[in-house]
Structure 1
Amino acid sequence: MTRRRTIADIPTPALLVDVPAMERNIRRMAEFFAEGPCRLRPHFKAHKTPEIARRQLAAGSCSGLTCATVSEAETAAAFCDDILIANEVLGPGKAARVAALAGRTDIMVAVDSPAALQDIAAAAAQDRVEVGVLVDVNVGLPRCGVAPGEEALALARNVADTPGVRLRGVMGYEGHVVAIEERPRREASAREAMDRLLSTVRVVRDAGLPCDIVSAGGTGTYDITGRIDGVTEIQAGSYVLMDTAYARLDIPFEQAISLLGTVLSRPSPTVCVADCGHKSCTFDHGVPSVRDIVGAFVLHLSDEHALIAIPASADIAPGDRIQLWPSHIDPTINLHDVLYAVEAETVVDVWPVSARGYPETRRELR
């Protein structure tokens, strides 16, 4: 009888997915949206892993998937027929790829400028397909998005008058709000952001234009924005695996992904060094946390090393395994080719992170 692989057999550094915990997260979110009317559109960029996305869709309560890039959408189109690219898509090359997707799936893109609109429309008209458009509204996050109200209406009119595209609605991501730890302040800020979005919805509808989809929200505001009348779907992503940034909030999801490393050295009684540096774990949201060693914390990440403070009494030596909780799963997962699906200490599957990086550039090597 072949021995089943265990965590001890995995080469490090590596990402482990606690499958039972992940499944509980998927179920909790699906149950929250089961009664409607708001639906869930899980964000594929959080994990970029088809097997996880398939499980999210199978759990129900979903309107489709959200993607951040054209290449993510191309990967997702193999198993999902309703995709929103919640990002601006510019340039004839990328626009042509969106049009190609429209020939086999219901595809929508976010637009916040006439330039982006014209690129998409030209490609769609050439392929004789129709691409859905959501007007991207700036609701407070200093990133993309057109100003609420009249400026958004002007762009919506432009969309409605342009062949090759169809105005489907609006979107606005309150990303400046989702990580606020104090619940009352997070809720007030989310409602303020949605007031900007929904006031735009009223202006667009009063002008006689269609606005069926109102897409917003994230993991930190799913139960706030997802209960605001008029919002039709939530783009939450991190809930499925979680990270330390979201784990600080009062939301009912478990940390289900950890970074496995091997201890390389214990240079002093209160310090150990592991092989999981920032080439395997990002720290844009702070350094990762140490799992299962009370009082331990990460001091520093270099390319290939994690310098970890540990209690002098900790029973850990070179060759031992150590696990870290990532602080931000999206870019951390992007550093890895596979996720190891585990149940307790047993490896039950290995999942490719198929949409990591920029697959279109890898085609140059063929």
Structure 2
Amino acid sequence: MLTDRIALRQRLEKATDHLETPVAVVDLAAFDDNATRLTERAAGKPIRVASKSVRCRALLERVLSRPGWRGVMAYTLPEAIWLVRTGTTDDVLVAYPTANRAALRELAADPELVSAISLMCDHPSQLDLVDQVSDPADRPEIRLCMDLDASWKPTAAVHIGARRSPVHSAAQAGALARTIAERPGFRLVGVMSYESHIAGVGDDPPGRALWGQVIRVMQSRAFPELLRRRAAAVRAVSEHADLEYVNGGGTGSVAATSADPSVTEVAVGSGLFGPTLFDTYRNWKPTPAAFFALSVVRRPAPRIATVLGGGWIASGPAENSRLPVPYLPEGLTYKADEGAGEVQTPLIGAAAEQLRPGDRVWFRHAKAGELCEHVNELQLVDGATATPTPTYRGEGRAFLG
């Protein structure tokens, strides 16, 4: 689905001209197209939607109603409980370990929640924390998913990938599975391994051809190693547990991860919104679906237009790739000595000459769901019509705030 920027700008302006800025929108045609294309890339394996990259219940429910999408990968236990209680889903994998004692008590006291939610585990001490807040003899078995470290370690001194789980080898996975099997009050039902160095690293960074070659060489060597090790780990874990699912991948590796025989489902979130970090992938680029608009408020010079706000910086390393990108109209960029400001952002370029106070500049966020932490509503744009729907924040749910 190609993006005609002029037509897109006209449509977004028409749909939202009655609203004040900042205004955040999701283009439903692009969102649905991305969902369809991701299903095709998954080649029949179910996709678990990563809520961290969406953070809007209406959009989670929209994608979960589509064929090929099943279950939610949540980022906190309180969020998982909320999603179950609101009827958004009855199948939630919490992708990160939790230390929220109140939420653990609520989970352990409710059989419906216990049957719907799996907690992440990579060390026995996390089980100790659960037992501190609920007696294993007085609760249903808590469902667990083991986090298998997917990073590549070509030598003892080299670690490529996110620092997540300490469980790296098949032997370590088998040992932890045995420990869990021997602990009352727990049941191991899944394994997850997120290959961040493949799914989350673009292999075609603009203006950095040599670095792109380095990334592609790394990924070509790291992925086969992961396939062998993940399969061995699943075999080792299966000696002690009846696994319901093996989860892997992300937006940047859907097709490759789905082809792994040891994986039964893939996780995807960012590919629905199409943020700028995924512009640097060669194998597949989602259609941009999420945008936010800020108003021009001053003209300090002929080729400078200043918008109100703009400092919606994405998490990760402090570098330009984490800045939102001025997208519509084309031809705008930041002043190098000011960047994206909290209250005002000067934009430079030929397009700035045509902008006047009251005009809008449309941005794309570097990441997906983090956009929703800045607004209470998303405008769901269908054609030239916008329908407001609350974000997590708009429903009073800032789970990491």
Pairwise TM-score range, normalised by the shorter structure: 0.7 to 0.9
Greater share of residues in helix: 2
Picking from 55, 60, 76, the partner of 1:53 is: 60
| Structure 2 counterpart of 1:286 | 322
**Which position in structure 2 is the counterpart of 1:20?**
29
1:269-303 alpha-carbon deviations (Å, 9 max, x no partner): 2211112322x453744212222333212331121
What TM-score comes out, normalization by structure 2 length?
Answer: 0.80
Q: Percent identity?
A: 24
Conserved? CA contact 2:325–2:366, under 8 Å: yes
> Which residue, out of 250, 259, 271, partners 1:227?
259
Aligned counterparts of 2:240 and 2:174: Cα–Cα separation in 1 = 11
Tell me, in whole angstroms, the C-alpha distance in 1 between the residues paired with 2:229 and 2:298: 54
Aligned AA for 2:333? F
CA shift, 1:236, in A, is: 1.1
Cα distance change of structure 1 residues 334 and 126 upon mapping to structure 2, 3 Å threshold: farther
Displacement after TM superposition at 1:176 (Å): 2.3
Q: Which amino acid aligns with 2:172?
A: E
Matched, 1:350 2:388: yes
Q: Which residue does 1:275 correspond to in 2? A: 308
* Corresponding residue number in structure 2 for 1:139: 150
How many residues were matched structurally? 353
Q: Once the 2 structures are TM-superposed, how far is the Cα of residue 219 of structure 1 from its aligned partner?
A: 0.5
| Map of 1:181 onto structure 2 | 203
- Deviation of 1:166 (Å): 0.8
In the alignment, is the contact (CA less than 8 A) between 1:90 and 1:115 conserved in 2? Answer: no
Instruction: State the AA in 2 paired with 1:220.
Output: G
Q: 1:318 to 1:110 in 2, by over 3 A?
A: same
Give the gaps of 5 or more residues in structure 2: 1-13, 152-160, 205-214
The residue number in structure 2 matching 1:129 is 140
Q: 1:167 to 1:295 in 2, by over 3 A?
A: same
Deviation at 1:360, TM superposition (A): 6.9
**Residue 344 of structure 1, CA deviation:** 4.3
* Cα separation, 1, equivalents of 2:73 and 2:135: 20
* Runs (5+) with no aligned partner, structure 1: none
Alignment of 1:325 with 2:347, yes or no, is no
**Aligned partners of 1:144 and 1:312: how far apart in 2?**
43
Question: Residues 132, 124 of structure 1: CA spacing in aligned structure 2 closer, same or farther, 3 A cutoff?
Answer: farther
Check if 1:156 corresponds to 2:188.
Answer: no
Contact 1:134–1:170 (8 Å) recurs in 2:
yes
Which of 126, 146, 158 is residue 116 of structure 1 equivalent to?
Answer: 126
RMSD: 2.5
Equivalent residues of 1:245, 1:327 under 8 A apart = yes
* Range with greater deviation from structure 2 (281-290 or 142-151): 281-290
Taking the aligned partners of 1:340 and 1:241, their CA distance within structure 2 comes to 13
The 3 A distance-change label for structure 1 pair 226 and 312 is closer
Partner of 2:343: 304
